[in-house]
Amino acid sequence: MSFPTVLPVREQARIVNQTLAKRFERLLPAVMRETGFDAWLIIGHEDNHDPVFYTIVPMEVWAPILQVVLFFDTGSEVERINLSRTNMLGLMPPSPWGPLGEKDQWQVLREVLEQRSPQRIGINTSDVIWAADGLTASLKDRLFESLGSDLASRCESAEPLAIRWLETRLPEELELYEQACAIAHAMIRHCFSRQAITPGVTTTEDLEWTYWQLATDLGLPLSFKPFFRLYRDERTTPAEGTNSKVIQPGDMLHCDVGVEYLRLTTDHQELAYVLRPGETEAPEGLRRGLREANRLQDVFTQSWECGLSGNAILERALQRADAEGISHPKIYSHSLGHLLHEPGPLMGLPWQQTAIPGRGDVVMHENTAYTVELRVDVEVPEWGGQLVAFPIEQDAAITANGVHYIDGRQTDLHLV
């Protein structure tokens, strides 16, 4: 099975850094002005970096000791001020601070801020969005002590700014996302094939390691630990018992997997059917279950609207699903991009299909990406009317042109 091209690491770094330069030039000024901050501080220790820090540095960065980065909006441009030893490879000017100087980083930071006198200084603290909560308690104390009461009084949570910076995708990034999802889809196809599965021998745990090894061989970090499981007709349970992980003909397989490529995270759930001898297609009841799940995807994405909160979108989608008679609908979707589960609107949880305070109150914006993650439960006649779950998940973006599935979505069961 052939895979889409995974670029050499050096070429990946060139693209990542080139894209970051465009984000600095076009996106950063826009989101700072949209949220009303004229300064933004990102501060963190080596090996304990702020989540935002990863998104503002070159791919091949080495970031030792204390990291202090300041963005300041002059009105005509956003200055990028690196007060650390870290080499930003041209994405930021050389640091005005050096370890051999007479002043430490905190003194230089205070002087830089006093010279510019920002009115609203964003710091990464948040009770709701973990990705906007990267400033540790000790560093916050040190920061306020160093700034003095006047500057410290101008500091406030940069949560809205962090959300907008992290969730927004440039058009160029959405094009790169197509490549990332194409690779991720090809990995799923490999795992759901006879190259990876020998019925009666291979286990779902084997598939997890197969996926992980494949990602490692391709040089791709995992988005999270891969998960594979199976559903089967309970009347024909193998001798090993209902908890057997050995894949048998007649089983329906499910995966929940993802990788990171070019600093973009993928997250997919797809379904496969293991053909019995003589079969050329899955039972109609299983195919109908996937169609029902696709129908819920349509209802859900048709409920997306910029300016609405995740809670409002969830309520709208579930009302429409009930009105259309969709079987046991459940929605639990989240934003996607540099990070897996943050920072944009949360739309349901598997265990909560009502409004989620805080994370569900975040509103949807254009040029953002999400998982279309949900399930339906459908009775399968071929399995004696057994109620079977059909969980699926695809990545999609919303732009001025509407909702778009990134590299398409699954509409047919993989056949093994």
Q: Are residues 220 and 276 located together in one domain of the fold?
A: yes
What is the per-residue pLDDT for 239? 64
95 with 85: CB under 8 angstroms?
Answer: yes
**Residue matched to tokens 């090993």:** 240
- Is there a domain that residue 395 lies in? yes
Q: Are residues 244 and 155 located together in one domain of the fold?
A: no
**Alpha carbon separation from 173 to 113, 179, 264, 301, 406 (Å, rounded):** 33, 10, 8, 21, 11
Q: Are residues 138 and 174 located together in one domain of the fold?
A: no
User: What's the structural domain count of the chain?
Assistant: 2
Q: Are residues 199 and 344 located together in one domain of the fold?
A: yes
Q: Are residues 161 and 174 located together in one domain of the fold?
A: no
- Is there a domain that residue 3 lies in? no
Q: Give the N- to C-terminal CA distance of the chain in Å, as an integer.
A: 14
Q: Which amino acid is at 151?
A: L
From 148, 165, 182, the end of a domain falls on 165
Q: Are residues 180 and 158 located together in one domain of the fold?
A: no
> Across the beta sheet with 78-82, what order do the strands follow?
78-82, 67-73, 39-44, 121-123, 155-157
Model confidence band, residue 93 (pLDDT cutoffs 50, 70, 90): very high
Q: Are residues 89 and 176 located together in one domain of the fold?
A: no
Q: Are residues 366 and 401 located together in one domain of the fold?
A: yes
Angle (nearest 5°) at CA 110 between 108 and 116: 105
Expressed as residue numbers, the domain containing 411 is: 169-415
The model's pLDDT over 222-244, given as tens digits with 9 standing for 90+, comes to 999 999 999 999 888 766 666 68
- Is there a domain that residue 282 lies in? yes
Model confidence band, residue 2 (pLDDT cutoffs 50, 70, 90): confident
From 145, 165, 185, the end of a domain falls on 165
Positive or negative CA dihedral for 46, 47, 52, 56? positive
- Is there a domain that residue 44 lies in? yes
Domain holding 253: CATH number? 3.90.230.10
Q: What is the pTM of this model?
A: 0.95
Domain holding 158: CATH number? 3.40.350
Mean pLDDT of the region 306-321:
98
**Whether residue 220 has pLDDT greater than 70:** yes
Q: Are residues 121 and 186 located together in one domain of the fold?
A: no
What does the mean pLDDT of the chain come to? 96
The model's pLDDT over 278-296, given as tens digits with 9 standing for 90+, comes to 999 999 999 999 999 999 9
CA-CA distance, 296 to 203, in Å (whole number)? 30
CA-CA distance, 317 to 293, in Å (whole number)? 13
What is the per-residue pLDDT for 238? 67
- Is there a domain that residue 344 lies in? yes
- Is there a domain that residue 2 lies in? no
- Is there a domain that residue 180 lies in? yes
